[in-house]
Amino acid sequence: MASVRVLSTSVFAGILSAALTACAGHPPIVAVAVAPVPAPVAIAAAPALPPGVSPTMTVPPMLPDGSYQTPNRGLSPDGTLWHFRVALNVAALACRGAQGDAITASYNAMLARRRTTLSAAETRFAAEWRDGGGDWRDRYDDAMTRLYNYFSLSPARTGFCSAAAQVLADAATVPDDALPGFAAAELPALDRPFTDVYRAFDAWRGVNRPAPLRAQPQTVAAIAVAPHIAAAMAPPRLELDPSVFQ
């Protein structure tokens, strides 16, 4: 039976060290092309439902210019003046506190001073409906009911009362013959608190809101390696002569 030669630990360690040193004598050179990492994309938080607004609220259509089709558009001069009076009437009824008291006092003073001008405008405006024929009085009364309800939207109350207080203060110095022009200039200011609520509601429910941005996928780095370098990068293999273990 042949005798077995046992390789001592020190001899084996020396052989292993020499082999690894030989493999590491020429470190490989690798050319790596790394694609740039995209910057993080921030996604804005979705707008909140405006305070006091029902999720099922109905809003007028938005027009191509971004405004809303409210009852206060497309009116004749008499219709504009009468809608102006209705708006201030609702403010006198709905606004509360010290501001509401001031609005009521200013509104009553305006009625006392402008009664003839306002009454004549209402008569001519009603005649416009009468000229439409049919049950014009019912249509007119329905339109006035919708107008009062429009100006009574509670989520717009704070802004509406502030606008009404300013308009009434400015109206105190306007001559009677200039009142129709003043009403035409200021009716949009009384309308704005309501369209602001509509705009906020549409933003909440996603109308005209851009789609959420998706996270961009990361690009895997491309590595270009020459064949002879690739061979050098392979894990070192330690080959020993089996005869040393005999």
Q: What would the DSSP string read from start to end of 31-56?
A: EEEPPPPPPPPP-PPPPPPPTT--TT
CA nearest neighbour of 77 among 191, 164, 181, 186: 181
* DSSP bridge pairs for 62: 68
pLDDT for residue 16 = 47
pLDDT for residue 89 = 98
Q: Which of 8-12, 125-129, 217-221 has the lowest mean pLDDT?
A: 217-221
Find the domain containing 96 and state its range.
1-15+23-206+225-246
Q: Which of 145-149, 163-167, 223-227 has the lowest mean pLDDT?
A: 223-227
pLDDT-based confidence at 246, cuts 50/70/90?
A: very low
Amino acid at 41: V
Q: Tell me how crowded residue 227 is: count the other CB atoms within 10 A of its CB.
A: 7
User: Has residue 218 been placed in a domain?
Assistant: no
pLDDT-based confidence at 52, cuts 50/70/90?
A: confident
- In a 13 Å sphere around the CA of 76, the CA atoms on its Cβ side amount to 11
Looking at the predicted structure, is the pLDDT value of residue 200 above 80? yes
Q: Which of 11-15, 110-114, 150-154, 203-207 has the lowest mean pLDDT?
A: 11-15
User: Has residue 142 been placed in a domain?
Assistant: yes
pLDDT for residue 143 = 96
User: Has residue 219 been placed in a domain?
Assistant: no
| Measured distance CA(210)–CA(163) in Å, rounded | 32
User: Has residue 106 been placed in a domain?
Assistant: yes
pLDDT for residue 220 = 43
User: Has residue 213 been placed in a domain?
Assistant: no
Q: Provide the domain count of the chain.
A: 1
pLDDT for residue 83 = 98
Place of tokens 């690894």: 20
pLDDT-based confidence at 206, cuts 50/70/90?
A: confident
User: Has residue 107 been placed in a domain?
Assistant: yes
Segments in the chain forming alpha helices (H): 9-23, 77-94, 97-130, 136-151, 157-171, 179-205, 227-233
User: Has residue 217 been placed in a domain?
Assistant: no
**Rg of the chain over all Cα atoms, to the nearest angstrom:** 41
Task: Tell how far CA 40 is from the center of its chain.
Answer: 20
Tell which wins on pLDDT, 227 or 174.
174
CA nearest neighbour of 193 among 161, 217, 215: 161
pLDDT for residue 80 = 98
Considering the chain, what percentage of its residues have pLDDT values greater than 90? 54
pLDDT-based confidence at 114, cuts 50/70/90?
A: very high
pLDDT for residue 49 = 85
Looking at the predicted structure, is the pLDDT value of residue 145 above 50? yes
> Tens digits of per-residue pLDDT, 15-45?
445 545 555 555 555 555 566 767 666 666 7
Length of the chain: 246
